[in-house]
Amino acid sequence: MSSEDSDRPENAPEEALASADASADPSSDQVGSSEEKLLPGVQSDGEENEEDPAAGQIGVQRYVHAAFFSTGILASYLGGKILLSAWNSLADWPSAVRSMPFLIAYSEQERASVTLVIGAVLGVVAILRYYRRPAVKTWATDVAVELARVTWPDKDTVTNGTIVVLVAGAIATLYIALLDRLWGYLTNLVYGA
């Protein structure tokens, strides 16, 4: 097998089997770590290593797309509410109604529908504009990659930490309350009530 053939992905499973057979055979002359004998991009514990960025990027991109999608929904909602508030404020202003009579041409419920559609269009346009910027997309991907590396605590650790914080807070509150009572009592003794 040539070195060009070993770089091709379709030969990777055959190489992994051959290296696994060679490592199982104690008379084998091959020397190397067990991680070198596995498939490229996979460590011995089944996790992906950082040498194969394509494998890790597939999972991270879904979080980037979800973040852009949820930001688009939020921008659409807020844009619609801001436009509705501005429209209702202008409709209550008599001089604005005289100069722009279309402000009161719609009922308040129709205004809410119109501004929701306008807000949705503006939100989609804004998110698509930012999504197409390489700097923003790279930043969002980098944030998602860093968050994917975070080791999140399990339920027991969070529960124990929460209990410790609540008990410590209760003790500190009790201590400060007792000191407040003591100093209040001493102040009343010295200065009189």
pLDDT in tens, 71-129: 999 999 999 999 999 888 888 888 888 888 877 888 888 888 899 999 999 999 999 99
CB count in 10 Å sphere of residue 99: 10
In this structure, of 35-39, 122-126, 144-148, the range with the lowest mean pLDDT score is 35-39
Instruction: Tell whether 107 and 188 lie within a shared domain.
Output: no
Do 89 and 140 lie in a common domain? Answer: yes
Q: Are residues 61 and 123 in the same domain?
A: yes
Say whether both 141 and 158 belong to one domain.
no
Each as own residue / partner, the long-range contacts of residues 11-14 (CB below 8 Å, 24 or more positions apart, any chain) are: 12/39, 12/40, 13/39
- CB neighbour burial string for 43-62, b if at least 16 within 10 angstroms, e if fewer: eeeeeeeeeeeeebeeebee
Assess whether 93 and 59 both reside in one domain: yes
Q: How many domains does the chain have?
A: 3
- The three-state secondary structure class of 149 is coil
- The token pair at 39 is 């498939």
Are 191 and 177 members of one domain?
A: yes
**Pick from 16-20, 63-67, 135-139, 174-178: least confident:** 16-20
Please tell me whether residue 42 adopts helix, strand or coil conformation.
strand
Instruction: Let me know if 73 is exposed, middle or buried by CB neighbors in 10 A (0-12, 13-18, 19+).
Output: middle
92 and 128 share one domain: yes
Q: State whether 71 and 128 are in the same domain.
A: yes
Assess whether 159 and 122 both reside in one domain. Answer: no
Domain encompassing residue 6: 1-51
pTM greater than 0.75? no
Residues 79 and 22 reside in one and the same domain: no
C-alpha to C-alpha distances, 112 to 28, 72, 84, 136, 176, nearest whole angstrom = 76, 19, 6, 32, 51
Is the domain of 126 the same as that of 110?
yes
174 pLDDT more than 90? yes
Q: Which of 111, 126, 148 represents a domain boundary (last residue)?
A: 148
Backbone angles phi and psi of 133, in degrees to 5? -80, 125
Shared-domain flag, residues 25 and 110? no
Which domain-ending residue is among 19, 34, 51? 51
